[in-house]
Amino acid sequence: MESGPSTVHLLPGNGLDDEARGLVLRFLDGGVGSDPYPVLNRIRQAGPVWLRDDLVVLSSRAHCEAALRATGNAPVSTGACPVSAGRLRRAADRAFSADAVADLAPLVRRLVDDRLDSVAARGRLEAVSDLAHPLPMAVLSHLLGLPSSDAQWLHRRAMALSPALDLRPAGAGTDGSADLAECRQAETELEAYFAEAVEHRRRAGGDDLLSRLIRVDDDGERLTDAEAASLGRFLLGAGYETTAALVSGSVLALLRAPHEIDTVRKDPGHARHVVEETLRLDPPVQVVQRRASADLDLCGTPVPGGTVMVLLLAAAHRDPALSPSPDVFAPDDASPHLAFGAGGHHCLGAPLARLIARTVLVRFAQRVLGPRFALGSPSYRPATALRGLRALWVDADGFAGRDLPWSATAA
């Protein structure tokens, strides 16, 4: 989680300043429909946009990367990662190391095949509810040692957290108070849930991530129960819906470029390029906020200490400075992105999110025969900072069996 809903009151201005601010407010208010990118491109062309003396919107690749990498800048959030530095960060990094995530690959493959088996008789699938939501929840629950029977309860609480990411403009018609109240209630319930889970691990032990975290001894220190519970809640809240959005967005990218399905079927290793290009062109996390810890010079833009920087990552990823055709989906020539952050606040769960998305794409290409859009258009959830599909129905000519072997290079 990066931020709680807050209201933006504008500085006085005119001319080009007012036009740029209007575009920013239109985007933040969700007034751009299912395709925010034309507006985001126009905002980026305007350069840094100051909404208040202490709030600036940055949208170029150079500005956003510099802000993310600036030493000491912190996420603007009461729900920010509790392991941003020190021993807690080191403990969490070990839990999501390349080797630790690779060990999860057989589980993820089995879960993907299980989900496809469950819809094969129906002849169609809904990529969000059939794949994108169940898979990350099942993997995170396994990782944290949470009962599978709690999945729906955890899903509802995790989904309630996402509106708190949005930055609300003044006069938007809603101040987000209802969403904020629901978010706080979900946070309270999840805190109690993970506190009980950690207490149980203290008594009974185990080999799941929570159990390992409370046994960590790094330089003579151990995680307290409160720290372990906070980390568990954060990993679920920050990792679940973003991974779900990446999974469904990657499937959508394949459907929009059918030749890529054939490429992934023939070369499963190509799925990683599709995932990275989806993260660049249509990232789940569109906006993050950082607070400048000191006076900064960001690519010639002076930013006083204490300023809140709203980083439009989705605009930065389409910066023409990176590519002559930044709006074109091109997995074979994908440009680097900032979808998982940069510097000291990089996303802990990035390797796991990539593994889940790649595995889904490989098996989707191999097992879903003749996939195509079902009647109706893909629909998005009404959020600005986190772009996620509400539903994506896919028709198919049939489903190949799960006995189809996995390639050695798959995912």
Q: Which letter does DSSP use for residue 277 in this model?
A: H
Closest alpha carbon to 45 in 63, 25, 70: 63
Instruction: Output the pLDDT for position 210.
Output: 86
Q: Which amino acid is at 403?
A: D
* CA dist., res. 192 & res. 314, Å (int): 35
Quick check: helix, strand or coil at residue 296?
strand
> Which residues are CB-neighbours of 191 under 8 A, at least 6 positions away?
229, 230, 233
* CA dist., res. 111 & res. 124, Å (int): 18
* CA dist., res. 394 & res. 264, Å (int): 18
Q: How far is CA 160 from the centre of its chain?
A: 15
Quick check: helix, strand or coil at residue 400?
coil
Contact 312, 40 (CB under 8 A): yes
Quick check: helix, strand or coil at residue 125?
strand
Global confidence as pTM:
0.90
Instruction: Output the pLDDT for position 80.
Output: 53
Contact 254, 277 (CB under 8 A): no
* CA dist., res. 374 & res. 123, Å (int): 11
Q: Which amino acid is at 379?
A: S
Q: Residue 352: which H helix or E strand, with range? A: helix 350-367
* CA dist., res. 29 & res. 23, Å (int): 10
The tens-digit pLDDT sequence of the chain (411 residues) is: 344 445 554 444 444 588 999 999 999 988 888 899 999 999 999 999 999 999 999 999 999 999 999 966 667 654 455 555 455 666 667 777 788 889 999 999 999 999 999 999 999 999 999 999 999 999 999 999 999 999 999 999 999 887 777 776 544 444 556 777 888 899 999 999 999 999 999 888 888 888 887 876 555 557 788 888 888 888 888 889 999 999 999 999 999 999 999 999 999 999 999 999 999 999 999 999 999 999 999 999 999 999 999 999 999 999 999 888 999 999 998 789 999 998 777 888 899 999 999 999 999 999 999 999 997 778 898 888 999 999 999 999 999 999 999 875 666
How many alpha carbons lie under 13 Å from residue 197 in its C-beta half-sphere?
26
CA distances from 131 to 179, 287, 371 (A): 26, 25, 15
Q: Which amino acid is at 268?
A: P
Beta bridge partners of 373: 394
